Amino acid sequence: MAEPTGWEPVPRSRTFELVLDRIEEQILAGKLRVGDRLPPERELVELLGVSRAAIREALRVLEAQGVVRAKVGTGPDSGSVIAALPTAGLTQLLRFHLALANFPLPDVVDTRAALERSSARLAAERAAAGRATDQLTALGELLARMDDPALTREQFNDCDTAFHVAIAEAGGNRLMADLTIAVRNAVRHPLLTAFHRITDWPAAAATLRAEHHAIHTAITAGDAEAAGELMEAHIHRFHHEVALPALAADDED
């Protein structure tokens, strides 16, 4: 039994957070590593002295974050495994935060520009080293598709997302790519709204196409400096001169 001195009773509903803390301690201390199995639920109940409901709530949080993967069954193989999962949890969380406007759109844009400038530089460096050739081919194909004037604004926006994601992937930095994907997806809806408000869409699309081709050329030429500068300028120009003013106009309606 725990000695009660100096310890205040825990409100029952917050117990799962304490369970989370215990598990986080083990992970940050390196005692639980990828592939390790957590003790089964009923054993965690005994080890931590909390209810099974609290354990399950904590495990669901960790599953949603991608930190553990649930194992089905109730035998000796049951329990949850520490996972090196893809960043679905991370990108979902970023989507939530951005959707709930925790962050102003201009801040998101500047963050995007910072990340994508680096991704473009890395992609150019890898291109210069003869790597990422498949991704560079895919980039070229995407640009060719975007050159089709018959594309709707939705289709153009989807290709644009794919173009930026492909550059992040070509950069080969997984964390930067994941953050870029989350941020680009988070601005997908506001960007589409902005696209629909542009009166001379063919002219706006032509400028975007020209900027994309210039970025692609710099990357395939292995010119990291130019690729980074062009990417940063492209994102800043479009958002600050086109998208944000178009979206602000709405607020005055």
Contact 157, 188 (CB under 8 A): yes
Q: Where are the beta strands (DSSP E) in the chain?
A: 68-71, 79-82
Q: How far apart are CA 50 and CA 20, in angstroms?
A: 12
Cβ of residue 215: shortest distance to a copy of itself, in angstroms? 17
Q: Which two tokens stand for residue 241?
A: 């001169």
Asked if 181 interacts with a copy of itself (CB under 8 A), we say: no
Q: How far apart are the first and last CA of the chain?
A: 64
What is the SS3 assignment for 82? Answer: strand
Q: Within positions 46 to 65, which residues make up the interface with a copy of itself, using CB under 8 A?
A: 53, 56-58, 60-61, 64-65
- 42 lies in the binding site for a copy of itself (CB under 8 A): no
Per CB under 8 A, the list member of 47, 96, 137, 241 interacting with a copy of itself is: 96
Secondary structure (DSSP) of 172-231: T-HHHHHHHHHHHHHTHHHHHHHHHH-SSHHHHHHHHHHHHHHHHHHHHTT-HHHHHHHH
Please state the length of the chain. Answer: 253
Site for a copy of itself in 210-249 (CB under 8 A): none
Using the minimum distance from each CB to a copy of itself, give the nearer residue, 142 or 170.
Answer: 170
Task: Kindly report the number of other CB atoms within 10 A of residue 80's CB atom.
Answer: 22
**Angle between helix 105-128 and 174-186 (nearest 10):** 140
Q: From the list 70, 203, 221, 248, which residue makes contact with a copy of itself (rule: CB under 8 A)?
A: 70
- Establish how many alpha carbons lie within 13 A of residue 176's alpha carbon, considering only the half-sphere containing its beta carbon: 21
State yes or no: residue 129 binds a copy of itself (CB under 8 A). no
Stretch that binds a copy of itself, among 16-24, 139-147, 162-170, 210-218 (CB under 8 A): 16-24
Number of residues that bind a copy of itself (CB under 8 A): 57
Name the minimum Å distance from CB 62 to a copy of itself: 8
Q: Which stretch binds a copy of itself (CB under 8 A): 41-49, 96-104, 195-203, 205-213?
A: 96-104
Per-residue binder mask for a copy of itself (CB under 8 A), 144-163, x = binder: --------------------
Report the residue from 10, 34, 203, 248 that binds a copy of itself according to the rule CB under 8 A.
34
Number of C-beta neighbours around residue 177 at 10 A: 21
Among 1, 2, 101, 150, which residue interacts with a copy of itself (rule: CB under 8 A)?
101
Which residues of this protein are in contact with a copy of itself, per CB under 8 A? 13, 16-17, 20, 24, 27-28, 30, 33-34, 53, 56-58, 60-61, 64-67, 70, 72, 82-85, 87, 89-90, 92-97, 99-104, 107-108, 110-111, 113-115, 117-118, 122, 173-176, 179, 189
